[in-house]
C-alpha cells in the first residue's frame, strides 16, 4: 500500500507536457498571450450542458502530443478571471472557443452543433488553424521568394542585348509596313492608269 501511494505521489509531481492551463489571474493570462504561442481559449459556465459535454474531450485534446505547442485554457465566465476576459473578448454565449495566434484572435466558434462528433471535428479544426495553416504560409513564402528570384532584373549586358534585339525587330516591322504601303499605292496607281487608257480608247474609238 505504501508503494502505491509513493508511486501516485511521484506521478502527480510530474504533470504531462500538454494539459489545460490553470489561469488564476488576468495578468497571468496576458503573460501567456504575450508569449506568442497558439492559444485555444474556452469560455464555459456551470449551468451550460454543452459546456459539460465538451469539457472532457477538450481536456483530452490538450493532452495529445500533436498539440503540445498549443496552450489550452478554459475559463468560467462567472469566475473572477473569466468575467473580465469574457467582456474583453465580447463573449455573448457559451461554450465559446477562441483561437488566438500571435496575440490576436483569428477564429471563434460559438455553441455546439454535433455533440457526438465534437472531439473529431475540433481536432480537425485545431490542425487546420494551428498546424496546417503555418505550413501553408511557409510554402506561400517560399513560392513568393522563388517568383522574386525568377523576376529579378537581368544583368546589364543581357538587358542591352535584349534592347538591341527589340529595336532591330521594331525597325524591321516598320520597314515591312512602309514597303507594304508603297506596293499597295503602286498597284492602285496602275489601276488608275489602266482606267484612264481605256477611257481614252473609248472616246477616240481605238
Q: Is 48 a catalytic residue?
A: yes
- Strands (E) located in the chain: 20-21, 39-44, 71-76, 96-101, 104-110
Cβ burial 131-168 (10 Å sphere, 16+ → b, else e)? eeeeeeeeeeeeeeeeeeeeeeeeeeeeeeeeeeeeee
- Grid cell of 26 as nine digits: 488576468
Q: Is 51 a catalytic residue?
A: yes
Catalytic residue among 18, 39, 48, 77: 48
DSSP annotation of 67 reads G
Catalytic residue among 51, 73, 94, 100: 51
Active site residues: 48, 51
Amino acid at each position: 500500500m505504501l508503494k502505491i501511494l509513493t508511486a501516485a505521489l511521484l506521478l502527480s509531481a510530474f504533470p504531462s507536457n500538454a494539459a489545460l492551463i490553470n489561469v488564476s489571474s488576468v495578468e497571468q493570462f496576458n503573460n501567456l498571450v504575450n508569449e506568442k504561442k497558439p492559444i485555444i481559449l474556452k469560455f464555459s459556465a456551470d449551468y451550460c450542458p454543452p459546456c459539460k459535454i465538451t469539457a472532457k474531450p477538450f481536456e483530452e485534446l490538450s493532452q495529445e502530443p500533436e498539440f503540445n505547442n498549443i496552450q489550452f485554457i478554459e475559463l468560467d465566465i462567472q469566475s473572477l478571471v473569466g468575467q473580465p476576459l469574457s467582456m474583453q473578448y465580447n463573449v455573448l454565449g457559451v461554450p465559446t472557443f477562441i483561437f488566438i495566434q500571435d496575440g490576436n484572435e483569428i477564429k471563434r466558434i460559438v455553441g455546439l452543433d454535433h455533440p457526438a462528433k465534437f472531439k473529431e471535428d475540433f481536432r480537425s479544426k485545431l490542425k487546420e488553424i494551428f498546424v496546417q495553416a503555418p505550413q501553408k504560409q511557409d510554402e506561400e513564402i517560399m513560392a513568393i521568394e522563388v517568383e522574386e528570384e525568377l523576376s529579378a532584373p537581368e544583368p546589364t549586358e543581357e538587358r542591352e542585348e535584349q534592347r538591341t534585339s527589340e529595336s532591330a525587330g521594331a525597325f524591321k516591322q516598320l520597314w515591312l509596313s512602309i514597303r507594304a504601303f508603297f506596293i499597295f499605292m503602286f498597284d492602285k496607281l496602275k489601276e488608275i492608269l489602266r482606267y484612264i487608257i481605256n477611257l481614252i480608247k473609248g472616246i477616240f474609238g481605238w
